[in-house]
Amino acid sequence: AQTVTQSQPEMSVQEAETVTLSCTYDTSESDYYLFWYKQPPSRQMILVIRQEAYKQQNATENRFSVNFQKAAKSFSLKISDSQLGDAAMYFCAYRSANTGTASKLTFGTGTRLQVTL
């Protein structure tokens, strides 16, 4: 079974600075998807960024980018120019591309990000 590990329960960053959230995963599969979700105090789960394992290029969405290291099974999220609205719980998640189990997401335990002035 796949597992996702987020080793940083809490992180703090100053406004306008850059922060990196770590995620590692364990899988024997070669084709899969990785995601970062943001959960603000409203409790809504918001997709931040998605990476396909077969793509070597790291995904980027505005101030959010990932460092995907397939051999190391590492998938970190970098937030640049941090804003107060980035304060939230962040979850890393894995999904197989195998059609038999394609849709199940496996989540890490989350990292709570605090943004300070």
Partner 1 sequence: DAEITQSPRHKITETGRQVTLACHQTWNHNNMFWYRQDLGHGLRLIHYSYGVQDTNKGEVSDGYSVSRSNTEDLPLTLESAASSQTSVYFCASSATGYGYTFGSGTRLTVV
Positions touching partner 1 (CB under 8 A) are 4, 6, 35, 42-45, 47, 50, 91, 99, 102-110
Rounded least distance, CB 12 to partner 1, Å: 18
Identity of the amino acid at 62: N
Rounded least distance, CB 48 to partner 1, Å: 11
Nearer to partner 1, 71 or 103 (CB): 103
Nearer to partner 1, 75 or 91 (CB): 91
Rounded least distance, CB 110 to partner 1, Å: 5
Q: Which two three-digit tokens encode residue 31?
A: 């084709």
